[in-house]
A and B are shown apart, each in its own frame.
Chain A
Amino acid sequence: MWQFGEVALAIAIAPLFMGWISQCRAWMQNRSAPPLTQSYRMLRKLFHKDAAVATDASLLFRGTPYVLFGTMVLAAAIIPSLATDLPFARAADAIALIGLFATARVFLSLAAMDIGTAFGTMGARREMMIGFLAEPALLMVLFNAFLLYGSTSLPNLVNEYAARHTVIDPSVIFAAVAFVMVLLAENARIPIDNPGTHLELTMIHEAMLLEYSARHLALVEWASSLKLFNYACIGFALFLPWGIATHGADGGVPLLAAVAALVAKLTVAGAALALIESLSAKLRIFRAPEYLAMAFLLAVLGLLVHLLLGANINA
């Protein structure tokens, strides 16, 4: 029951989270902001349009939006955003989750190349470069948490955390910074990519979507906002798990508390992301490896810190 509620909530509020970030960004740049519901209006508009598909498009191109949306929904089912008692989560641990994101990336890149335009290929090429640099960094971040709590399953991590109530391990701070860097890179945000740009030559994520329209585009956009939402929830599960209803917690009260905690966390996280994006410029694309290497290094440092100091703290 909670499982379905959680997935439904994720699908419903992911665009809202995106809208909130846009709103914060606009405020920070002294612009008047679009309404919070702007993302929903966009989706509605796109779903009402007739889809135009390139003449050379194969089934891969048409099918990818559904694959993307499906993988992101599945990921939302695995990530304990509200509760840890998730039947789906037993099927996959956090490493499989990374695989899920990688699947989506591969499909989107192939679909972008399927059309044969210069921009699609260019975007796909860049996306793969960012992806193969970001994944090891993300794995390292997760290893930090695995070492700390002795499990690779996200719900178990959260349960374990709730059971222990220890002081914050210093390694977590390194891992958290690395995670935020990966989150920005993986979700096509500044400083790696610019979601607001109209300059086709600088695009990464957007370049792959140029040929999509109407319902296909809507699904891809929705999947993108779900991906960002999922990443945020992974971050909460790893670093800020307070408020998530743990095993054995029954009834509506913990659940309502979990929803309230999630909304509060998303509000703060959205504002923080917007702040980071407003303060920084986009990196020259060949600085991206340096940036992601830095994220990797921080995560490794976190591991080292844990291995050197962790024993004492846990003792």
Chain B
Amino acid sequence: MPPDFFEDRRTRLPSNVESHLLSVDREQWLQTAGFFRDSGASLLSLWGADDRDRNGTFCIYAAYLLPTSVMVVEHAIADTTAPAYPGIAFLFPVASRMQRAVYDLLGISAEEMDTRDWLRHGGWPEKLFPLRRDTDGNQPYPIVSEPYPFVAVEGDGVHEIAVGPVHAGTIEPGHFRFSVVGEKVLRLETRLGYTHKGVAKLFESLPQQEGHRLAARVSGDSAVAFSWAYCSALESITSISCPQRAIVLRALALEHERLANHLGDLGALGNDAGFAFGLTQFSRLKEDLLRSNSDAFSARYLMDYIVPGGVAVDLPERCTGLLLNQYLVLEEEVAGLRSIYDEHAGVQDRFREAGRLEHDLAQKLGAIGLAGRASGIACDLRTDHPWTPYDQLSPKTVTRTYGDVAARVQIRFDEIFESLRLCRALLENLSSGPVLAAVPLAKPNTLGIGLIEGWRGPVMIALETGVDGGIRRCHAHDPSWQNWPLLEYAILGNIVPDFPLINKSFNLSYSGQDG
């Protein structure tokens, strides 16, 4: 039974998917969390805000993904000297790291929380909270190295391997602490936050019309998803709708982003299994796609293509035919490479059974997006909460149940074919017309949500407008928050040299989660 205050107190939130806002007190905060947990909803994001200048409180928000809508629960905390709220990590394990991040940025603590810092890394003093309104974001601080107590595993022959944050290859920084016996992994603890850039603070200094540029840079491989989520939030708040042509082009760009990332990942997965042929072939296909992106959307990685009110440039007429041709070639070549991967005994031996995440565990941990779908969690915003133009496309959700590296590879292959089908349908439905509408200044202090299924999973932007066309608070959420902890479970019982392959099969964003 939903709590009795549920129905009458919720208000509709501006968003591209059906969303509601529910203001609750301390007890109801836990009550709603418990109810959502029991009804099988998943926690989408958790963030805080400093509203002392407005009504003398700190505010903590939790966004839940329900079967048909999104519910944002808001809890105002009156105690401003030591603000605290009941932690929900015991209900939603994914909340644990987000609670730590909220504390590092705003000093709002959850009761019963892991008190180790998550984003701070000694980069600013302990009792300084950068996202508070009275903190100057431009003040530099020396980096003070502080010890970080990893959970130790003891036993005969157990030792630790510390990997990163500087790696042998040019990749993003993250620290992985393995406790191993011989080659077998007993425990993995990740430490992230090395690429914390203070995106949330920077948003507050930008005008609304510029925010999409920063959003696109939260995680570069999901530029379309983030900038579309930002633009959706802003457009919902200002109640304008994009021209039809722009909406279709946005979806086309989103599917191109998915295609490019899946192609890159499939190549890299082959390479990590020592099959360099796969890398060169998939890299070639990806490069071809990036070049046509540059041709069709004027940006290889689709950076700043989506702008408030529409898209930055119209699709040139000549590109329609070229793209349709390219989809045919791509489909044929990927099918060929897929059969090579499927029939290569050595590659399959590496992929199968490696990094297995079973369905029940994935469900419990709140797995989401691509990694979730590989473990049998059929969740895809494009099908579950279709926003335009996906409501007319009926995209298929691709799932696998086994949850190993091979399953995540198969998901990528299937999604490539599904994306190609969507791209074709989108191009065929492309009506002529303008691609950009004017977006007026939004009224201040309005919260809006933008929710887009990026290639990795759901990407969310929670935008609260400020006065004079400014941004009061903008929270960007990457699905990597949900899926990084999965890796620590997927590796258990596997051997150390299989970790890079398993890690790549998830391919999570460091930058996106570090913020």
Contacts and interface: CB of A to CB of B under 8 A. Distances in A.
State the majority secondary structure of interface residues on B. Answer: helix
Contacts of B284: 30
Contact of B272 (A31, A118, A199, A285): A199
A31 to B, nearest CB: 5
B355 to A, nearest CB: 12
Interface stretch (A145-153, A189-197, A230-238, A242-250): A189-197
B4 to A, nearest CB: 53
A282 B270 CA distance: 10
A199 B346 contact: no
Contacts of A201: 161, 163, 496-497, 499-500
Contacts of B274: 190-191, 194, 197, 280-283
Interface string A191-224: 1001011111111001000100000000000000
A191 B346 contact: yes
Interface of A: 25, 28-31, 118-119, 122, 190-191, 194, 196-203, 206, 210, 278, 280-287
25 contacts: A29-B277, A29-B279, A30-B281, A118-B163, A122-B161, A191-B346, A197-B274, A198-B169, A199-B168, A199-B272, A200-B167, A200-B169, A202-B497, A202-B500, A278-B277, A280-B274, A281-B273, A281-B274, A281-B344, A282-B274, A282-B350, A283-B274, A284-B349, A284-B497, A284-B498
B497 A283 contact: no
Contacts of B499: 201
Given A25-B276, A29-B280, A191-B274, A286 B169 contact: no
Contacts of A210: 168
B143 interface: no
A203 B163 CA distance: 13
Contacts of A287: 349
Nearest to A279: B277
* Secondary structure of the A contact surface, majority rule: loop
B199 interface: no
Given A281-B275, A282-B346, A284-B497, A118 B168 contact: no
A203 B497 CA distance: 8
Given A25-B276, A199-B169, A285 B495 contact: yes
Interface in B152-176: 160-163, 167-170
Given A201-B163, A282-B346, A282-B350, 7 more contacts: A28-B277, A119-B161, A198-B168, A198-B170, A199-B168, A284-B349, A286-B495
A140 B168 CA distance: 37
A30 B278 CA distance: 11
B347 interface: yes
B183 interface: yes
Given A29-B280, A200-B168, A285 B183 contact: yes
Contacts of B168: 198-200, 203, 206, 210
B346 A285 contact: no
A302 to B, nearest CB: 25
A291 to B, nearest CB: 11
Interface of B: 160-163, 167-170, 183, 270, 272-277, 279-281, 284, 344, 346-347, 349-350, 495-500
A119 B167 CA distance: 11
A140 to B, nearest CB: 25
A200 B276 contact: no
Counting chain A CB atoms within 10 Å of each CB, the highest count among B160, B170, B498 belongs to B498
Contacts of A200: 163, 167-169
A11 to B, nearest CB: 29
Contacts of B183: 285-286
Contacts of A285: 183, 495, 497
Contacts of A281: 270, 273-275, 344, 346-347, 349-350
B124 to A, nearest CB: 30
A280 B168 CA distance: 24
B347 A199 contact: no
Contacts of B281: 30
B428 to A, nearest CB: 33
Contacts of A284: 349-350, 495, 497-498
A198 B167 CA distance: 8
Contacts of B169: 198-200
A174 B469 CA distance: 79
Contacts of B349: 281, 283-284, 287
A299 B250 CA distance: 62
A28 B280 CA distance: 10
A50 B497 CA distance: 32
Nearest to B347: A281
Contacts of A282: 273-275, 346, 350
Nearest to B168: A200
A202 B274 CA distance: 10
Contacts of B167: 198, 200
A176 to B, nearest CB: 22
Q: Which of A25, A196, A203, A284 has the most CB of B within 10 A?
A: A284
A196 B168 CA distance: 12
Contact of B280 (A30, A197, A280, A283): A30
Q: Which 8 pairs between the two chains have the least Cβ-Cβ distance?
A: A282-B274, A198-B169, A281-B346, A199-B500, A281-B275, A200-B168, A202-B497, A118-B161
Contacts of A202: 272, 497, 500
A200 B170 CA distance: 12
B351 to A, nearest CB: 9
Nearest to B504: A199
Nearest to A200: B168
A122 B160 CA distance: 11
Contacts of A286: 183, 495
Contacts of A198: 167-170
A285 B275 CA distance: 15
B276 A196 contact: yes
Nearest to B276: A29
A282 B27 CA distance: 55
B273 A122 contact: no
A121 B275 CA distance: 26
Nearest to B496: A201
Contacts of A191: 274, 346
A30 B277 CA distance: 8
A39 to B, nearest CB: 18
Nearest to A30: B280
A98 to B, nearest CB: 27
